[in-house]
Amino acid sequence: MSVRVRVPTPLRKFTNGADEVNAQGPNVRALVDDLETKYPGIKERICDETGKVRRFVNVYVNGDDIRFLQNLETSLKEGDNISIVPAIAGG
């Protein structure tokens, strides 16, 4: 099972510049772990030391914020679109 993950500009240094990558996992937690395996270092940018998604990072599954779903336990299915969206900078 594979889902598409859209990567924001500040995290593309981990994905060799790719703005979209494929990853696997039955839920968002497993997906983040899979991303970490493929792109080491990316997880600690998305999650804090306790494993929760950082406050200023929003993760969307098909356009819905996982904070209003089941957070990291939000389940995923083939073809889902995931977006990782940081806060806004500058002016």
**Site residues, other proteins (CB under 8 A):** 6-11, 13, 19, 45, 54-58, 67, 83-91
Residue pair 20/2 in contact by the 8 Å Cβ criterion = no
Closest approach of Cβ 61 to other proteins, in Å? Answer: 15
CA angle 14, 53, 32 (to 5 degrees): 50
Q: Closer CB to other proteins, residue 14 or residue 34?
A: 14
Q: Closer CB to other proteins, residue 1 or residue 91?
A: 91
Beta bridge partners of residue 46, listed in sequence order: none
Q: Closer CB to other proteins, residue 30 or residue 57?
A: 57
**What is the amino acid identity at position 30?**
A
Closest approach of Cβ 83 to other proteins, in Å? Answer: 6
Residue pair 35/44 in contact by the 8 Å Cβ criterion = no
